[in-house]
Amino acid sequence: MLSVNFIPFPTLFSERLIYREINENDVEQVFQLRSNPENMKFIPRPLLKNHQDSLEHIKMIKEKTTNNEGINWVVCLKDDPKMIGLVGHYIIKPEHYRSEIGYMILPEYHNKGYVTEAVKTIIDYGFNVLNLNSIEAVIDPLNMASEKVLQKNRFIKEAHLKENICFEGSFLDSIIYSLLKRNYK
């Protein structure tokens, strides 16, 4: 079985971005990211209502990292430590050498290639540091931007699940994309 340990927290770097550990100073950006209905329209989770909700979300992210259940990075531009998004291996299944990734970025940073760059960085970390065999992403079928990010990073569509998620009284479809280590490079 895969063994993971995120202590000390691994800071990552890519061409334009830095990936660091989340902290309470990120509360405003977490709130902006997860309270915005437009930004959350493809994510079946409740909107954050206040800064206390943001602090609880930060606490949950930190606990998952401490417990080696997942790892999430704050995405920052190299010349500015302010959070512009989140990216990570949200769920790690060590018995299957598989993780599920997720990513979000503030709207003012959309369409600049930052998410594609961030996903590429955490894929590299997943295969070359964590020694994963496969990485998946679960997306809403209507989220074309997310689908493009995955396709640019060589993910393959594995399944279209019909009405497999119930959120706020509605049944939603989801699509699973994956990338195997042997197809990575």
Interval 114-150: pLDDT, tens: 999 999 999 999 999 999 999 999 999 999 999 999 9
Across the range 167-182, mean pLDDT stands at 97
Distance CA 146, CA 91 (A): 18
Specify whether the CB–CB gap between 97 and 131 falls below 8 A: yes
pTM: 0.96
How confident is the model at residue 154, as a pLDDT? 97
Specify whether the CB–CB gap between 10 and 126 falls below 8 A: no
Q: Kindly indicate the confidence band of residue 185, based on its pLDDT and cuts at 50, 70 and 90.
A: confident
Specify whether the CB–CB gap between 126 and 92 falls below 8 A: no
Across the range 42-67, mean pLDDT stands at 97
How confident is the model at residue 178, as a pLDDT? 98
Nearest to residue 101, comparing CAs of 58, 173, 159, 155? 155
Q: Which residues neighbour 151 within 8 Å (Cβ) at sequence distance 6 or greater? A: none
Distance CA 48, CA 65 (A): 21
Nearest to residue 91, comparing CAs of 52, 136, 128, 48? 136
Mean pLDDT of the chain: 97
How confident is the model at residue 150, as a pLDDT? 98
